[in-house]
Amino acid sequence: MQKTVVSQEQIAHQYEYMQFIARMNAQKAEVCGHKLRAFTQTFGCQQNEADTQRIAGMLDEMGYEKAESAQQADVIVINTCAVREHAESRALGNVGALSHLKKARPDVTICLCGCMVQQEHIPEKIKKSYPQVDVVFGTHALWRFPELLYRRLTGDKRVFDTSGDAAGYIAEGLPVLRDGGTKAWLSIMYGCNNFCTYCIVPYVRGRERSRDPQQIVHELEQLVAEGYKDITLLGQNVNSYGKDLDTPIDFSDLLVRLNAVPGDFLLRFMTSHPKDASHKLFDTMAACDKVAKQLHLPFQSGSDAILKRMNRGYTAAHYRELIAYARDKMPDLTLSSDIIVGFPGETEQDFEQTRALVDEIGFDMLYTFLYSKRSGTPAASMPDDTPHEVKQERFERLLRTQDERVQARQDAYAGKCLRVLVDGTSKGTEYPLTARTEGGLLVCCAGDGLKIGEFAQVRIEKTSLRCLFGRSV
Ligand code: 5AD
Ligand code: SF4
């Protein structure tokens, strides 16, 4: 299966649609006395946030101003997630609630996009039960959004485009509208080849495909020139970056090239996969001064039997070995992970192995999820006879273990001096600014000379479970 690189001619067509709409909008704006407005809402992961920024870039090019709420908007775009049922129900709930708005203002255009709608059964459901939705487009059609919106605005009743072959697309040259501030997402690849048995992502985002390294370097240079200082490289599995490219380059080589871009900035990346994370990667992280000593390495379960049924391709022992190596190379490494509790057939003993691993390793941050059945995935047809209450109790037990470990790790920072990037204001008066450490930990800070968007040295004065409190030195 070969990915499709969208030609520059096709991209130019999309710019033409954007210009058509911009002209239409300029005329409408004259009549109503203000620019037309667009509202976007995102569910799910950073990848989805990055996609919404591309949609926002196109909306901006089409002459829409940012609306603060759906009520104010002429166009509403809801970018959905399919990873867990909860995210789906929330998105559908929000769309349901928009039916009143649509009745009151039939001229508002409601668009639904992203992972949820790329699932086979969803378009039918929206056709039948959500008549207020005007445009539906899947992850593969994101780059065609201007054309789809144009069709709707010029008379098509409802526009559905959830086509696209699983190999997927790479589309370069479309606009991106970021939030400003210090942080930026930078997608380096799309899709996933791993087919973990619980996960819907490979079905809705297609196969792994890497962006050309030159394009990535160029985008990083632009971000640095625009003043972004905290840049996160995104991919479902960044450790397999480059495998599909003609250029012989892997993720570590890419990091070295990005680290060489001049400027004062930090590079983070997510997500890594224990099956593909290599010693070379950790050596490279240690050697690159702009690469944050931060690693998000999901292990999902501490039980080898469950890992096997999840099709994760590693054992708990391998995971331990990776962490030991990484910590040896980077003693200050900040570590986070994803865990699924209640995978089909998980026994008390399996769960205890997960909890023991959390206790042993000591993560700075943990993203813990209750297993959610996704139709079409292999795990959906595995026997699952553990009652919900049992899973819930395990989940809470795991959080207690994690909180104890985090408190101890946080306390250990008391009195230490840390380099932070000041990135916003906090609600507190005693420590009025927020910042992030190189490892991504939240610090509320106070003192002279602190400025949003700049790096500073702070001494940690006190700690809580979720926050460090520091003063500039
Ligand atoms: N149920 C619960 N959690 C899931 N994740 C992915 N699929 C599921 C599912 N079906 C979690 C994994 C992954 C994170 C992004 O979401 O832990 O790492
Ligand atoms: Fe899903 Fe596994 Fe791919 Fe992550 S690596 S997106 S969990 S299939």
- Summarised one tens digit per residue, pLDDT across range 307-336 is 999 999 999 999 999 999 999 999 999 999
Determine which residue's CA is closest to atom 13 belonging to ligand 1.
338
Quick check: 178 and 134 in contact, CB under 8 A? no
What residue's CA is closest to ligand 2, atom 1? 199
164: confidence class by pLDDT, cuts 50, 70, 90: confident
Does residue 139 have a cis bond before it (omega within 30 degrees)?
A: no
Mutate to test the pocket of ligand 1, among 338, 346, 365, 381 (most ligand atoms within 8 A of CB): 338
- Joined together, the tokens standing for residue 114 give 């992203």
Q: What is the pLDDT of residue 204?
A: 95
**226 CB neighbour count, 10 Å cutoff:** 10
User: What is the pairing mode between strands 334-341 and 433-437?
Assistant: unpaired
Tokens 């070995």 sit on residue = 321
Could you give the maximum distance between any two Cα atoms of the chain, in Å?
68
For the CA of 273, the nearest atom of ligand 2: 5
Which of 83, 115, 341 has most ligand 1 atoms within 8 Å of its beta carbon, as the pocket-test mutant? Answer: 83
1 pLDDT more than 80: no
Is the CB of 384 inside a 6 Å radius of any atom of ligand 1? no
User: Which whole-number Å values give the CA distances from 453 to 230, 296, 445, 446, in the listed order?
Assistant: 9, 24, 14, 15
Give the pLDDT band of residue 408 (cuts 50, 70, 90).
very high
Question: Rounded CA gap, 381 and 358, in Å?
Answer: 28
Question: Which residue is closest in CA terms to ligand 1's atom 18?
Answer: 338
Q: Please name the residue whose Cα sits nearest to atom 4 of ligand 2.
A: 236
Cα–Cα distance measured from residue 95 to residue 127, given in angstroms and rounded to the nearest whole number: 13
- At residue 367 the predicted structure's pLDDT band, cuts being 50, 70 and 90, is very high
Contact 233, 269 (CB under 8 A): yes
Q: Which amino acid is at 372?
A: S
Q: What are phi and psi for residue 421, nearest 5 degrees?
A: -110, 115
Contact 290, 259 (CB under 8 A): yes
Q: What band does 159 get if pLDDT is binned at 50, 70 and 90?
A: very high
Give pLDDT tens digits for 191-227. 999 999 999 999 999 999 999 999 999 999 999 999 9
Average pLDDT, the chain: 96
Count the neighbouring beta carbons within 10 Å of the beta carbon of residue 128: 8
Q: What is the mean pLDDT of residues 228-252?
A: 96
User: Residue 193 C-alpha to ligand 1 middle, in angstroms?
Assistant: 15
Cα distances from 210 to residues 171, 218, 331, 414, in angstroms, run 11, 15, 31, 42
Which ligand 1 atom sits closest to the C-alpha of 367? Answer: 17
CA-based nearest residue to 390, from 320, 342, 331: 342
The type of residue at 103 is K
Question: What integer pLDDT is reported at residue 165 of this predicted model?
Answer: 85
Query: Which protein residue has the closest C-alpha to ligand 2 atom 5?
Result: 194
| Cα 199 to averaged position of ligand 1 atoms, centre (Å) | 6
Task: Report the distance separating Cα 456 and Cα 235, nearest Å.
Answer: 29
Which of 240, 222, 241, 223 lies closest to 232 in space, CA to CA? 223
Question: What pLDDT digit, counting tens, does each position of 86-124 carry?
Answer: 999 999 999 999 999 999 999 999 999 999 999 999 999
Ligand 2 pocket, residue 81 CB under 6 Å: no
pLDDT, average across residues 125-129:
97
Nearest to 362 by CA among 322, 304, 409, 324: 409
- The pLDDT assigned to 2 comes to 84
Summarize pLDDT for 253-302 with one digit per residue, the tens.
999 999 999 999 999 999 999 999 999 999 999 999 999 999 999 999 99
CA–centroid distance, 197 to ligand 2, in Å, is 9
Please say if the pLDDT value at position 82 is more than 80: yes
Q: Identify the pLDDT of residue 442.
A: 96
Cβ atoms of 261 and 238 closer than 8 Å: no
Atom index in ligand 1 nearest the CA of residue 377 equals: 10
Q: What is the mean pLDDT of residues 395-418?
A: 95
Substitution candidate for ligand 2 out of 190, 199, 200, 299 with most atoms within 8 A of CB: 199
Distance (Å) from CA 312 to ligand 2 centroid: 9
Q: Is 73 in the pocket of ligand 1 (CB under 6 A)?
A: no
Q: What is the mean pLDDT of residues 242-261?
A: 96
Q: Is 300 in the pocket of ligand 1 (CB under 6 A)?
A: yes
Average pLDDT over residues 44-57: 97
Model confidence pLDDT, tens digit, residues 417-435? 999 999 999 998 999 999 9
**Which residues sit opposite 38 in a β-bridge?**
66, 75
